[in-house]
Chain A
Amino acid sequence: MLREEDKKQIQAQLKDMKDPVRFVFFTQQMAGTCQYCIETETLLKELVEISELLSLKILNYITDKDDVKSLSIDKIPATAVQADKDAGIRFYGIPTGYEFAAFLQMILALSQGNSGLDDILKERLHQIQNPVHIQTFVTPTCPYCTRSAFTSYQFAMENSNIRADVVEISEFPHLAQKYGVMGVPKVVINESHSFEGALPETMFLEHIEIALKKE
C-alpha cells in the first residue's frame, strides 16, 4: 500500500522514536464481513518494516476473547497502539488519508513518552479521577479531524483513566446512526456529552470537564 517514497518519508518522520511501539491488531478469518481488515493489516505490516522499534501482534476478534475484553475492543478492524503499557489508544478502521498523519504523530509521541502538551494542561488532566471514554469520529478526507484525533490521544497518554478511540466513521455506519454523526470531527465523551468541530486542546478539555460534571 505504501510506495517506496512514502516509506522514506515515514522513516524520516519516525527517526526520533525512542522506545518500542507495538500494534495489537484485531481482525477475523472471514474477512469478507470486515471491509477494511485486510487493507489495514497490510498497512500495519508495511509500517513495522520501516522501523525496528515497531512491532505487530495480530489477534482474532472472534477467538481471542480475553484480549478483546481486556483491551475493550468492540468492533474491527481495531488497532491498539501501545508503548511500555497500554494507554487506551485505539484506531478503529483503516488509518488512511489525513488520519495517517495523525496516526504517525501519535506513534512518535508514544515512543518518546511525551504527549507534547503544556504543563498547565497536563496538570488539569492529571486531576481527572473518573473514567473518561473519548470517541472521535473522523473521515479520511477531513483535514480538520486529525487535530481532534491527536488531541484525544495526547489526553489518553497523560492519564490512565482516559481512553481514546478514533473511529473512521464511514466504515461503521451503524455508529453514525447511533450517535447522529452528520459532520466530522464529532467527539463523544462517556456517551453523555458530545461536540462538533476541531477545537484547541483547552476547549476540548473543558468539554471533558463538563461531561464529568454531568455524571
Chain B
Amino acid sequence: MIFDVLILGGGPGGLTAGIYAGRAQLKTGMIERLMPGGQVAGTELIENYPGFADGVAGPDLMMAMEKQARKFGLEIMTGTIESLDFKSAPKKVVASGKTYYAKAVIISTGTDPKLLNIPGEKEFKGRGVSYCATCDGPFFKDKDVVVVGGGSSGVQESLYLTRFVNKINLVEFMDHLNAERILQERAKKNQKYTFYLNHQMLSINGSQKVESVTVKNRATEEAFDIPAEGVFIWVGMNPNTEFLQNHIDINPWGYIVAGEDCQTSVPGVFAVGDVRDKEVRQITTAVSDGTVAAEHALKYVESQEN
C-alpha cells in the first residue's frame, strides 16, 4: 500500500497529524500496535486539555480524536514495526509482515513506562505489579497497595486508585514529591495515603503473588518491609525508538532529535509528541507537534510531486 503520509503510532500527536493530513486530502495511513489512544487512553481524567471545563476521560478524548481523524479518511492498521527503509523513495515500513510505502512518515510512537529493574518486578507482573491504574485498579478493591513515584503520573493515577483500595503507600526516591501542586494537595488531604519520601525500592516480595515490598530509608539506611498486595509503578518513561536506531538521529536518552518543524535528520520523516526531544510533554504539545508535522509533511509531499 502506498500512502502520501504514514503515521507510526496513534496517540494524540499522531491522530492530530492524521486529522490535518487527511483534511488536506493526502492519502493518510496509521500503523498502531494496540488501539489508537496512546498513554492518554489509560488516563482516567484529563483536567488540563482546553475546552473541557469539567475534565474529560482519557478514553473519551482519544476515541473522539480517532473518530475525527477517520472522518477525514485516516486509515488505521494494527501492526508492530519490524523494519524500515527511509533512504528509498517512497519510504518503506514493514509491520507485522506487511509492507507499506509512503512519501512522508510521521513518527509518534510515544513512550512506555520505565521499569524499576528490581527483584520481583518482572516475576510479579500481572500478579500484583501493574503500570496501568485504569486497567487493573478494580482488582485491588479494599487492598493495600504501594505506588512508586511521586511525579504527576504517580500521584494522578494513585488518586484514581483511592476509589478502590484501602491504603496507598506512596514511595518516592527524592525527599519531596514532584507532582503538580494541585495533585500533591489532593493526595495529602486524602486519609488513604502514607508517604515514604526519600525511600528507595529494593525488592517486591511474595510467593504466588505480591505480599510486600522492601524499601530503604535513604537518610537512615534502614531497610524494612511494607505489606501490600499491589504495586503500581510510575517512575518515568522510555521513548519507543529502538526500531529507529541507525535510521535517524536519536539523542543519548533515546528521544528523536527534531526541530520546531518536527523534521528529523531525514527529509520527509517527522517526529511528534512525547517521542520527540523536547522540554514539555503534554497532550497539548503533542497535538501541536501533530499539526506542525502534518503541515510540513504536506509541503514535502508536494515538493516531491513537482
| Contact of A131 with B by CB under 8 A | no
Known contacts: A98-B35, A176-B139, A197-B125. The answer to whether A143 contacts B42 by CB under 8 A is yes
**Alpha-carbon distance between A186 and B209 when the two chains are bound, in angstroms:** 15
**Alpha-carbon distance between A98 and B33 when the two chains are bound, in angstroms:** 15
Nearest to A200 among chain B residues (CB) is: B80
When distances are taken between beta carbons in the complex, the residues of chain A under 8 Å from B97 are 117-121
| Cβ of B156 to closest chain A Cβ, rounded Å | 15
**Alpha-carbon distance between A123 and B59 when the two chains are bound, in angstroms:** 36
Known contacts: A120-B97, A196-B126. The answer to whether A183 contacts B136 by CB under 8 A is yes
When distances are taken between beta carbons in the complex, the residues of chain A under 8 Å from B128 are 182-183
| Contact of A180 with B by CB under 8 A | yes
**Alpha-carbon distance between A116 and B96 when the two chains are bound, in angstroms:** 10
**Residues 132-167 of A contacting B (Cβ, < 8 Å):** 139, 141-147, 150
Known contacts: A143-B42, A200-B96. The answer to whether A183 contacts B208 by CB under 8 A is no
**Alpha-carbon distance between A180 and B140 when the two chains are bound, in angstroms:** 12
| Cβ of B195 to closest chain A Cβ, rounded Å | 24
**Residues 1-58 of A contacting B (Cβ, < 8 Å):** 9, 12
What is the size, in residues, of chain A's interface with B at 8 Å between Cβ atoms? 34
Interface residue SS majority, chain B: mixed
Which of A101, A182, A197 is packed against the most chain B CB atoms within 10 Å?
Answer: A182
**Alpha-carbon distance between A118 and B245 when the two chains are bound, in angstroms:** 25
Are the C-beta atoms of B59 and A181 separated by less than 8 Å? no
Known contacts: A182-B126, A183-B127. The answer to whether A143 contacts B230 by CB under 8 A is no
| Contact of B304 with A by CB under 8 A | no
Are the C-beta atoms of B96 and A98 separated by less than 8 Å? no
**Alpha-carbon distance between A188 and B136 when the two chains are bound, in angstroms:** 17
When distances are taken between beta carbons in the complex, the residues of chain A under 8 Å from B127 are 180, 182-183, 196
Known contacts: A182-B128, A183-B135. The answer to whether A146 contacts B96 by CB under 8 A is no
Interface string of B30-62 (1 = CB under 8 A from A): 000111010001100000000000000001000
| Contact of B248 with A by CB under 8 A | no
Known contacts: A142-B135, A145-B135. The answer to whether A197 contacts B35 by CB under 8 A is no
Which of B's residues lie within 8 Å of A, judged by CB? Answer: 33-35, 37, 41-42, 59, 67, 70, 78, 80, 96-98, 125-130, 132, 134-136, 138-140, 208-209, 229-230
